[in-house]
Structure 1
Amino acid sequence: MERPLLVYTTFPDEAAAAAVSRALVERGLAACVNLIPGMRSVYSWQGAIEEAGEIVGLVKTRSGLEEAVAATIRETHPYETPVVLTIPVGADAPTTAWLMGATGA
């Protein structure tokens, strides 16, 4: 049985966040993507400690689309290695129905 899935990713700027989010929704892979600006990230990359401003993307989708969502993020994202973290979540019946309907389930 399909379950709601939340995918966490980050973006370098508003334009990239909007482009990837729009691709996911237009392709029916996400019901919605919440974009949260103003995050500051400190991370390890290629042996160095880096720091940058980022935008959080929370992709609302379903478990059956996990691989397609990840592939689309990798294909349309400007980062060499975008973060794609999947988080199985629960949801109430109306939210689940909306999410499944919006993603073609």
Structure 2
Amino acid sequence: MELRTIYITTKNEEESLRIGEALVTERLAACANILPKIKSIYRWQGRIEKDEESGLLLKTRADTVERLIARVKEMHGYTVPCVVSWKIEEGNPDYLDWIEKETSK
């Protein structure tokens, strides 16, 4: 089973908590870690922006990523939310089994 880490930025900690709780409740993610305050610098609509945001790290199965992204887009306040995924190559086998178990219905 292929597992993934998902990284999302949100406008604030409250939005991260709301999205993270929904995704764990719906079994689209096994775990959500909130990074309450991050500083972001990015280009948006031709301008350089500097903002405080919140970060969200999720662990899930690869076969849930498409549904997870669609769900985040439904709940997120941004027009183009950052939702990126990378493959989990290695880890504690017991923890990886737990991710699989918690995201299976």
- Alignment TM-score > 0.5, same fold: yes
Q: Deviations over 1:20-71 (max 9, x none)?
A: 1111011110001101122100100011111100111101101110101111
Superposed CA RMSD: 1.1
Q: Give the equivalent residue in structure 2 for 1:73.
A: 72
C-alpha distance in 2 between matches for 1:23 and 1:68: 13
Q: Give the equivalent residue in structure 1 for 2:93.
A: 93
C-alpha distance in 1 between matches for 2:59 and 2:14: 20
The ranges of structure 1 where at least 4 consecutive aligned residues each deviate by more than 4 angstroms after the TM superposition are none
Question: How do 1:6-25 residues align onto structure 2 when only pairs under 5 Å count?
Answer: 6-25=5-24
C-alpha distance in 1 between matches for 2:11 and 2:38: 10
Which amino acid letter does the alignment assign opposite residue 28 of structure 2? L
Unaligned runs of 5+ in 2: none
Unaligned runs of 5+ in 1: none
Is 2:9–2:81's contact at 8 Å kept on the other side of the alignment?
Answer: yes
SS at match of 2:14: helix
Q: Give the equivalent residue in structure 1 for 2:3.
A: 4
What's the CA shift for 1:92?
Answer: 2.4
Q: Give the equivalent residue in structure 1 for 2:46.
A: 47
C-alpha distance in 1 between matches for 2:98 and 2:88: 15
TM-score (norm 1): 0.93
Q: Give the equivalent residue in structure 2 for 1:58.
A: 57
The sequence identity of aligned pairs, in percent, is 32
C-alpha distance in 2 between matches for 1:95 and 1:4: 11
Q: Give the equivalent residue in structure 1 for 2:104.
A: 104
